[in-house]
């Protein structure tokens, strides 16, 4: 089993800081599928926290790394303040775009135009999770969450189906955690902007 080291944490902190500054410095160049994306800081922070939380050992998060993490979080708060509501709307538009891209990929799979590995290894699903968590309570995302829950069920069925044209490699028998947590979230009602 790999061990998370202070060097790993330091590298991920650098990626988090860089994502914030690039997102801020290239605001005019940001787009959903471009080099600079509005969600980049949140994706980098999620990777850092996931990496830290994926092991059973105590995190190698020294006091200096903790201070650095808090400083970078303050930089993100500045980016959010400067971007205001327009920045939050940009994140929401990206969420819609990634959800549509993920849905389209599932449709392509159903039509036999791509194999299951392509679905399993694409980033949109994880990025959707990050944006859903970030935007919960600010926007009405119930419809998106219901769609994602449905797509996750479809992905699970595709994986378990005997009717696959792609031969899965050994060890590819588990799709990433696209879990039932979305279904649990659907039980609670959210407040936010009404969908138009």
Query: In terms of C-beta density within 10 A (0-12 exposed, 13-18 middle, 19 or more buried), how is residue 60 classed?
Result: middle
Q: What is the pLDDT of residue 40?
A: 97
What tokens were used for 143? 């419809």
Q: What is the mean pLDDT of the chain?
A: 78
pLDDT in tens, 67-118: 999 999 999 999 999 999 999 999 999 999 999 998 888 887 777 776 666 6
pLDDT in tens, 31-60: 999 999 999 999 999 999 887 765 444 556
Helices (H), the chain: 6-25, 40-53, 63-110, 116-120, 124-135, 142-160, 181-185
Q: What is the pLDDT of residue 94?
A: 96
Helix (H) or strand (E) holding 90: helix 63-110
What tokens were used for 111? 């039509």
Residue 47 CA to residue 156 CA, distance in Å, equals 24
Lowest-pLDDT range of 38-47, 48-57, 146-155, 157-166: 157-166
* Whole-prediction pTM: 0.75
């Amino acid at each position: 089993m790999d061990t998370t080291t202070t060097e790993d944490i330091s590298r991920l902190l650098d990626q988090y800081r860089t994502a914030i500054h690039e997102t801020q410095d290239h605001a005019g160049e940001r787009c959903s599928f471009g080099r600079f994306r509005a969600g980049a800081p949140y994706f980098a922070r999620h990777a850092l926290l996931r990496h830290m939380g994926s092991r059973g050992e105590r995190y190698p998060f020294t006091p200096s790394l903790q201070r650095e993490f808090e400083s970078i979080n303050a930089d993100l708060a500045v980016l959010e303040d400067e971007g205001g509501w327009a920045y939050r709307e940009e994140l929401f538009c990206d969420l819609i775009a990634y959800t549509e891209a993920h849905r389209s990929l599932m449709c392509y799979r159903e039509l036999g135009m791509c194999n299951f590995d392509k679905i399993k290894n694409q980033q949109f699903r994880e990025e959707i999770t990050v944006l859903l968590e970030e935007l919960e309570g600010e926007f009405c995302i119930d419809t998106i969450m219901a769609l994602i829950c449905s797509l996750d069920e479809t992905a699970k069925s595709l994986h378990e189906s005997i009717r696959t044209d792609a031969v899965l490699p050994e060890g590819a028998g588990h799709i990433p955690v696209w879990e039932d947590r979305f279904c649990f979230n659907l039980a609670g009602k959210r407040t936010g902007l009404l969908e138009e």
